[in-house]
Structure 1
Amino acid sequence: MKKGKKTISARQRFAMNLRKARLARDISQEELAELAELHRTYVGSVERGERNISIDNMERLATALQLDVIELLQGI
């Protein structure tokens, strides 16, 4: 990254991309949680970057959004 730019962690990048993808599909956190077979509060904490999410759960969320995990980890 260029000097002066703040580095975004993979967790923060995943959180931002997850929220963006969910909103683009016009679904709630509750609907996403149901599709991914996860709890709504868990999805919310992932979107806020509070969770050190497992690869398995990253895949569940990506699959629920019909995306590849790598799409949720790509730079902003």
Structure 2
Amino acid sequence: MVQKARIDQQEALDFAKAIGDKIRELRVEKGFTQEKLAELAGLHSNYTGQLERGEKRLSVYTLKRVAQGFGMSLEELFRVIDPMEREDEIGEIVNLLKERSKADQRMALKLVKTVLDWRNGTEER
């Protein structure tokens, strides 16, 4: 029982570190300093550094504030932190689009909607 508790605690620490790594990657990708992210998220810059290093456990509320600091929803942040891996056609579409710009993603969505609307129209005839 004690051994399992130690394993669970280590897994929690590893998970906190993985989340911190993703937050750092996203922060750097957006060109933010720790101080800028902290300011936008309403957190102390020291705390932001501790989150990135996996030294602090995060609450869902803290993750929400970090997401807001990045200008994204909590759902979008979760997609970055723990992306869903699918081995089907939907997964392939997601993989193709996730590295594209927002403009490209919007264009692809518009195209898919147009094709599906066209298909719906031709199936009714």
Task: Compare CA radii of gyration and give the structure with the larger one.
Answer: 2
Q: SS of 1:60's equivalent? A: helix
Structure 1, unaligned runs of 5 or more = 1-6
- The alignment's C-alpha RMSD in Å is 1.9
Q: Normalising by structure 2, what TM-score?
A: 0.50
State the structure with bigger RCO (CA 8 A, min sep 6), 1 or 2.
Answer: 1
The partner residue of 2:78 within 60, 64, 70 is 70
Amino acid at match of 2:56: R
Amino acid at match of 1:54: S
> Does residue 26 of structure 2 align to residue 18 of structure 1?
no
Q: Which has the higher helix share?
A: 2
Distance in 2 of aligned mates of 1:51 and 1:64? 18
Structure 1 residues 22, 65: CA separation in 2 closer, same or farther (over 3 Å shift)? same
- Which stretches of structure 1, 4 residues or longer, exceed 3 Å deviation after superposition? none
Structure 2, unaligned runs of 5 or more = 1-10, 84-125
Distance in 2 of aligned mates of 1:54 and 1:70? 13
Number of matched pairs: 69
